[in-house]
Amino acid sequence: MFFRMIKGALFRQKSKMILIAVTIALGASLATAMLNIMLDVGDKVNQELKAYGANITVVPKENSVLSELYSLDEKEETAAAHLKEDDLGKIKTIFWGFNIIDFTPFVNTYAKLPNGESVKLTGTWFNHHLALNTGEELDAGIHSLRSWWDVKNGRWIDEQGDSADDNSAMIGVALAEKLGVSTGDKLEVKTSKGSKALNITGVYDAGGDEDEQIFTTLKTAQELSDTTGLIDSIEVSALTTPDNELARKAATKGPGSLSPADYETWYCTAYVSSICYQIQEAIPDSVASPVRQVAESEGTILDKTQLLMILITILSLFGSALGISNLVTASVMERSNEIGLLKAIGARDYRISGIVLTEIIITAVVGGVAGYFMGYGFAQIIGQTVFGSAIEMKPMVIPVVAVLIIIVTLVGSIPAIRMLLRLRPAEVLHGR
Amino acid sequence: MSLLEIKNVSKIYGPLKALDGVDLTVENGEWLAIMGPSGSGKSTMMNIIGCMDKPSLGEVILDGADIAKESNKKLTEIRRDKIGLIFQQFHLINYLTALENVMVSQYYHSMPDEKEAMEALSRVGLADRAKHLPSQLSGGEQQRVCIARALINHPEIVLADEPTGNLDEANENIVIDIFKQLHRQGTTLIVVTHDPEVAEVAQRTVVLEHGRLVKEIINENFEE
């Protein structure tokens, strides 16, 4: 009989129940969308922030110590120690290798131009194709790490299209104007180790010191500095988790200061410091350091964005609870005769409350399921509109939304249940 | 011992005395009509006898227990086990069929039994309307469903509040015939009405005015 009553109430009062289900669905959809975005926004914001460059730099340990001790002037000194080019692929083999989204090596040298001026010449990857031992393939280089460069004329060097022997180079806009050269011109450069005629494929505007430099392929720069197979530094762009107390402690006092349990937690979390540590483990005699400004900005933006999402989720659930409360109370008021009658014929309060709550929870489940899929749609719309990509739906959101909806529904039903318990059959059946 | 004894019962709402020192005794198997104009205290009396309200003063002894002193939980049990209620407005649950409306009463009393509920509907001539919703039934049919619901648990007292108030003459006669049948079977009937035609078929009639019992009429021509 219980289920016949529930069935009757649900199916023969469809419009009322649909209204409650729609309210619950709206709350559930907002919660689903916001929670999924909140959980995915870290990756999205990180990807957006990657447009501002690398967040980790790797240099030889020896250079790092010398640089710290004597504040060496780059223009006067060339790198005393080098990293091995062959070790580059190891960056993707670390525990958080999946979070390494781009990296590029640099070889720096100073070259004399025909007018006698000395300029910084940097060899690097532009869109270098890497086939790793793990089977993973990726294109790495400064094309994506310097996405803000404005190529005024010409084009980016295409390592996969141009010949490695082309001696292709890109020149900064300030230097190009000073020398009166442009795309398609040849530029003679000479170092103590040799000379080359560079083919200018593009002129870029970086908006800084790099506008006074020449960028060429790694191979060309290595030949000009006689450092074949060696590199000076690496820039790495990694997806990181915002720092917390644990990460700050590891960064300032060193991982050795952590307890074994804390060390494990720190090592297995994508903090920028733990990724640096793992890069140092993978590349011998290297020092990996976070670019603090970028790392801290990421953390701040992420924290604020996630706080905003949590507030929106709480507000939407609060609104939903109010809506449910109003609708359920209105429903109980409308059914006061029926409830009075049930009390009159001997139904105890808990049995009537049980029926009303079961109806509402079934409606909440239907509304919640519909809301989840609506939320999926909302999340994708927001993802495409704001980030230009889909939001990944996290399975953990399903139980969280389910629990939230049940809580919101039960809390929203409290005023109605209190009213129901106060109803006296004599008042509703005989008006006294 | 009488089935129901009301001793000096008053019900006071602020300055208003809805019942004022009422004394009344109802014997087992008796058919009593309570008459009176609007505002005379009939519904208050019905609520108190039906254990839906408590008196402000006095005693209401039903089957040996003073319901004025019982808890709300106990009153619910008494309503469930001893009283069958019939309402002027029928108060059927609109999303349940006639049969299910009868079974609801069984459900809160003991166990729903579809066969027994069907027999109750047959007794009031509604077997063929069992699967209909209240909105698909006439006023008379709805009242008969209400009667079947009141009788399904074999109550000691059937309390009817203006049972023919919303019915035409033909349906009124059907309801009165059902009451006669119930009386013959030994059911105690208390019918609140303002209709003299309904009151005059009862064994005894008491008249309420301004909360007081002012008259008692024994029906000399009562047909057993």
pLDDT in tens, B160-207: 988 888 778 888 888 888 888 888 888 899 999 888 888 888 999 999
| Residue B165, C-beta contacts closer than 8 angstroms, at least 6 positions apart | B88, B193, B194, B195
Separation of alpha carbons A56 and A47, rounded Å: 15
Tell me if residue B44 falls in helix, strand or coil.
helix
Average pLDDT value over all residues in chain B: 88
* Interface test with chain A among B34, B94, B108, B116, by most A beta carbons within 10 Å: B108
- The residue of chain A with its CA nearest to that of B77 is A346
Identity of the residue numbered A207: G
pLDDT for residue B23 = 93
B96 contacts on A by Cβ (under 8 Å): 4-5, 8
Per-residue pLDDT of A150-163, as tens digits, reads 998 899 999 888 77
Please report the pLDDT score of residue A430 as a whole number.
67
How sure is the predictor about B128, in pLDDT bands with cuts at 50, 70 and 90?
very high
- Closest residue of A to B155, CA-based? A345
Subunit contact A345:B149, Cβ cutoff 8 A: yes
Euclidean distance between CA atoms A157 and A139, whole angstroms:
13
**Which of the listed ranges A39-43, A385-389, B28-32, B63-67 does the model predict with the highest average pLDDT?**
B28-32
Distance of CA B118 to the CA centre of its chain: 21
Both tokens assigned to B50: 């039906």
- Contact B108/A at CB under 8 A: yes
The answer for residues whose C-beta is within 8 angstroms of residue A8's C-beta and 6 or more apart is B93, B95, B96, B100
Answer whether B43 sits within 8 Å of A432, measured CB to CB.
yes
pLDDT bracket for residue A76 (50, 70, 90): very low
Reported ipTM: the value is 0.87
Of A11, A341, A432, the CB nearest to B91: A341
Contacts of B98 in chain A (CB under 8 A): none
In a domain, B91, yes or no: yes
- According to the model, what pLDDT value does residue A207 have? 87
Answer whether residue B22 is part of any domain. Answer: no
Decide if A13 and B95 are in contact by the 8 Å CB cutoff: yes
pLDDT score recorded for residue A77: 46
Q: Cβ distance A383 to A293 under 8 Å?
A: no
Does some domain include residue B180? yes
The answer as to whether B1 is a domain residue is: no
* CATH number reported for the structural domain that contains residue B169 in this entry: 3.40.50.300
Give the closest of A345, A424, A432 to B85, CB-based. A345
Residues of chain A positioned with their CB less than 8 A from the CB of B77: 346
Looking at residues B98-105, what average pLDDT do you find? 92
In a domain, B19, yes or no: no
Q: How many CA atoms lie within 13 A of A301 on its CB side?
A: 16
- On whether any CB of chain A is under 8 Å from the CB of B73, the answer is yes
Q: How far apart are CA B62 and CA B50, in angstroms?
A: 10
Q: What is the mean pLDDT of chain A?
A: 85
Span A45-74, pLDDT tens digits: 766 666 667 889 999 988 766 555 555 555
pLDDT for residue A3: 81
* Nearest chain B CA: its distance from A431 CA (Å): 9
Mind listing the pLDDT tens digit for each residue in A357-373?
898 888 889 999 999 99
Residue A341 at interface with chain B, using a CB cutoff of 8 Å:
yes
CA distances for A73 relative to A108, A285, A287, angstroms: 13, 22, 19
| Degrees, nearest 5: CA angle A85-A77-A60 | 35
**H helices present in A268-348, as ranges:** 272-282, 292-334, 336-344
User: Is there a domain that residue B43 lies in?
Assistant: yes
Q: Which residues of B touch A345 (CB under 8 A)?
A: 79-80, 85, 104-105, 108-109, 149
Task: Compute the distance between CA of residue A22 and CA of residue A371 in angstroms, rounded to an integer.
Answer: 8
- What is the number of structural domains in chain B? 1
* Of residues A181 and A134, more confidently modeled: A181
How far is B217 from chain A, CA to nearest CA, in Å? 26
Q: Structural domain of residue B160, as residue ranges? A: 27-54+70-218
Shortest distance, CA B223 to any CA of chain A (angstroms):
31
Averaged over A417-425, what is the pLDDT? Answer: 86
* Mean pLDDT of the region A75-97: 80
pTM above the 0.95 mark? Answer: no
- Comparing alpha-carbon positions, the chain A residue that sits nearest to B89 is A429
Q: Is the dihedral angle over the CA atoms A371, A377, A380, A381 positive or is it negative?
A: negative
Task: Please report which confidence band the pLDDT of residue B224 belongs to, taking 50, 70 and 90 as the band edges.
Answer: low
Could you tell me which of A333, A428, A343 has the C-alpha nearest to residue B89? A428
A1 touching B (Cβ < 8 Å): yes
Contact A326, A414 (CB under 8 A): no
